[in-house]
Amino acid sequence: MTLSGASSLHAATVPAGCASIHHDGADNGAAFDHVVVTFPGNGGTLTATHETLSGAGESATGLADASSVLLLAALVGHHNAACSQWLENEGNAAEAALQAGHGLNVSWSNVSARHATLRIALATTSLAISRQGSDAGASLSMTGVTTSGVEAPSMIPQSAQAVFSLPADELAGLMASTAGKLAQLPAVHVTIHSLTAKRDTVELSGNGRATLTGQNSSASASGHMEIKDLSSLIDKARQDSQTKIAAALIIARLVSHKSSGSNTWDVNWEGGILTVNGVPLPLK
């Protein structure tokens, strides 16, 4: 079945100024094929062969569409004020589902995102959220990641996983700030229980806490990080002619601690400045 000939083609209720969304929807409203999300003004496009969402009940279609908008926005760094209120409303629906004891699970397969010269492909990506007391606990996974049109393609992870939590009543704020553009950015307080990103022999892992606002300049984070095979990561930066990143990694190696073949650090990100073991790194 093609998009042009599908009788079940669904036009999402997302505001036209935010994005256009089309897909073939299953009868139960929780499984979709041929998903296409487009931001206006050449802001980016996402396609996925298949998307599924469980745990949302009657809110499934709206939350599935919001999830796809959020995925594209996160991949290409897009913010649009026209998305803000709609995403907050869908976030309130997600909070209500969690409050009712439902776990939310969304996944995509064969994802492709593009914006200008940027191209990102993912074999699979998934997000699971459940209520844990007053918090929402989440698990995020991405596999088969390939990229082009970026300054340092050799440094982009091929897979990544994260387990984190945040106050359940801040989920709507997180959704609105990820793809929206709010007059007053909400502060979302995230605890990162584990984060792992891999490329070839290089593996980054860590944990910590972060205050997210949707903009790097006003976000902050602190925690512990370690990298296996840091020398290869430095070589990858040099390979991509990223001399500043390579120099920063060399400085980081000098101030790192060694543990079981890995380099480890206590890190802090605030005001757009990364500090490693008390040493600010020249990333700009």
pLDDT at 105 over 70: yes
The pLDDT of residue 158: 97
For 15, the 3-state DSSP assignment is coil
pLDDT at 170 over 90: yes
pLDDT at 207 over 80: yes
How far are the Cα atoms of 163, 175, 222, 227, 242 from residue 283, in angstroms, in the given order? 27, 28, 17, 18, 10
Paired tokens of 20: 């256009």
**pLDDT band (50, 70, 90) for residue 214:** low
pLDDT at 10 over 50: no
Q: Are 91 and 69 in contact (CB under 8 A)?
A: no
pTM for the predicted model, two decimal places: 0.88
The pLDDT of residue 113: 97
The pLDDT of residue 219: 81
**pLDDT band (50, 70, 90) for residue 269:** confident
**pLDDT band (50, 70, 90) for residue 151:** confident
pLDDT tens readout for residues 186-198: 788 999 999 999 9
**pLDDT band (50, 70, 90) for residue 234:** very high
Q: Which residue has the higher pLDDT, 179 or 26?
A: 179
Domain boundaries, the chain: 1-186, 199-284
The pLDDT of residue 54: 92
For 63, the 3-state DSSP assignment is helix
The pLDDT of residue 2: 32
- CA–CA gap between residue 163 and residue 243 (Å, rounded): 32
Neighbours of 117 (CB within 10 A): 8
Neighbours of 169 (CB within 10 A): 15
Of the candidate ranges 87-91, 154-158, 209-213, the one whose mean pLDDT is the lowest: 209-213
Q: Are 138 and 74 in contact (CB under 8 A)?
A: no
Cα angle at 126 between 124 and 128, to 5 degrees? 165
For 52, the 3-state DSSP assignment is strand
The pLDDT of residue 208: 97
Interacting residues of 239 by C-beta distance below 8 A, sequence separation 6+: 154
- CA–CA gap between residue 250 and residue 264 (Å, rounded): 13
Q: How many residues would you count in the chain?
A: 284
